[in-house]
Structure 1
Amino acid sequence: MDSKDYLKDISEIKDLMNKSSRFISLSGLSGILAGIYALIGAAIAYWLVSEYSSGTLILDGKIYRLVLLDLCLIAFFSIITGIVLTTRKAKKNNAKMWDATSKRLVINFLIPLLAGGLYILIILSNGKYGQTGGLMLIFYGLALINASKYSIGDIRYLGYIEIILGLIAALFPGYGFWLWVLGFGVMHIIYGTWMHFKYDTK
């Protein structure tokens, strides 16, 4: 056995160790659909605010609750779609859907996401709407980066983009809605498409 064989064996062992420590069954298609859901939800929210609140982002009563419901539905459908498509991909690859690695992935994703969600609800209850879009982008980006250690490492780049967009939204709160659309809608579709062709079509 020459040095090339040793290097090949080492490479294969390294690859197996990497796969065993990372959940690699995430579906790129779920990212595309999540982006589409976000665009549809954003269009509905924009219509609600424009139609019933004179185009302002100061939401009260019924409109406020409808916009929150809209956001919750976007998250719900994105999560369900992600679970269904990721489960299908895991079965196709003969991989476990729920094991120690996927548990670490979920925990590390949820910690910054839940902390950010609670913080956003607190500031919303105080009537501070201007920074909401930026904060959503920032905490979501942090969640992606935190989870990337236990999944496809490429998702951290989407996390960086989301954080940058969130910081821009903090600087220019008047554009927060459109930056939210860019981050959760357009970037999900672009990134999901790239991930789909890079990992799912092999």
Structure 2
Amino acid sequence: MSDKQIPYRGSRYLPVLILLSLCLLLSVLVAGCSESDEDLCFSTTYTVDTLEKRGDSSLSSVNFDKFDDFFSIEEAKNAKNQYENALVVLSSNPTVAACMGNDAYKVRIMELNVKYGFLDLFLRYSATDKKVSNMVFQDYPEFQTTLNTVIKDYEAMRTDVRNLQVAASDLDQSRIPSTSEAAFNTVKSKLDDVLKDIDNRLSVLYSYR
């Protein structure tokens, strides 16, 4: 037998084996990340659905014809908070847009914004309504100051109502979750009612200038 050392033939395949191993490891990592993103998307969507359902439940308990009703005010505040929390959760996870689809994601954001904006408007209207009720007991200088303030408040709210109406009408309702459709339709109809109320209030208040 010759003492000449026979080189290890497998050594020439070593770079190939390393490359294959790296590719296998990368594929496992990518699959793991994809699965993790899907899990995160599912949990985020579930959380948003839960928060929105709570908000819709509180919204359905609000009597929008009574701006001074304590129970309705508290339910409106609770619904607004639930929608706000849902928006925070939804917007804090960028992967949700990818798994939901950009169009569906944008609709969901806008739908929640419309409901949140309407409840914020309702609470502001209620606060301004109290100012008007107290205004009749004020002396002239204070009365005039309050009058100018509430007129500006109502004018700002009128602009906000119109903006919300445009946003609501531009929204593709077919992409809204079926469980939230009733609440969204309620908001759309109440926006029209609030706009009429604001216009009526302003026409009366303008006469006292």
TM range (shorter): 0.3 to 0.5
Max radius of gyration: which structure? 2
Tell me which of the two structures has the higher relative contact order, counting C-alpha pairs closer than 8 angstroms and 6 or more residues apart: 1
Structure 1 length-normalised TM: 0.33
Using structure 2 for the length normalisation, give the TM-score: 0.32
